[in-house]
A and B are shown apart, each in its own frame.
Chain A
């Protein structure tokens, strides 16, 4: 059982769907949405919410500063 639980909020209009966060997440929390944003990008979203421990790896690698990470200690 993880000691931490996290959640990721993606600014979907800033996201360009590069997929770096998807690759960087050690818990495989993120995926690219089947839908697109106004610019036509498949933006990142949480596809496995329960696995997020709030490590922020997604945020670090995001080139467009569109990821916010929230974290609580259980």
Chain B
């Protein structure tokens, strides 16, 4: 029988990591995600599954440990919050360029700069448009419940290894810190070395019976570098084709659509209740993957609804992708709060009325 537990999103992520057969976690403390490493240290998975848990000297070091572990074909991960994830961007660019599978969790807090420790969604651009230098994308999953903080670990690894690409879980301080019921996934054994070598013949597992494997992102010849870029772009197009995920909430008869991810989507669902009580037909489109973005779904909705409203905890970032998808065919509004302030359902509905319904 399924066992229902009550825990924080950060804790659920840590439990799910151990259960997913993860080989190594490398992190550095930062609020509001420190419970991830604290939980892992408490769980002592190295005694049970052999999973390595290591507190690095910096976020920079932690992401480079992830690079190396992923280059060995291992299931590795790191977690951090916004300022820490900024520090990781160099490493993420190298990971994307070397096409290494790994999982990165960002429990977003308000910025810019040292900012605040309160929740935010202002790292959207950084997450979906690249973040580090060069043309690359991570696959970005946006959990909106504690359950998804647990479930997206397995999903993230599945996508990471399928495409040899870093996967980012873009959470926020609300989801990370709040307690909710969760059913933890069943235990999966860590892969044996033989299984790692079979799954990742490219990995640096030791030169045994094959030419030496090299993991690098360096290509001084322009033709080689362009070919690498073309290969990456082709992979991103394939991901856009196959891996778009979203949740539809009361969209069947909707005349207006809230587009929101993560904790903002939860607020929008409440706003839908208020709106429908007033006779306004509104639904929510919740992108689960932010890259790839549900562009086609929004285009399809644009043919039958009267307008869109992007609700975010930022100054307006995802709204740009909504506008690109809608391409001027319908009005697109934006409402957001910043600095750790969470927009209320009432504010979201009021913004819809004043900006779109008029």
On whether A and B touch (CB less than 8 Å), the answer reads no
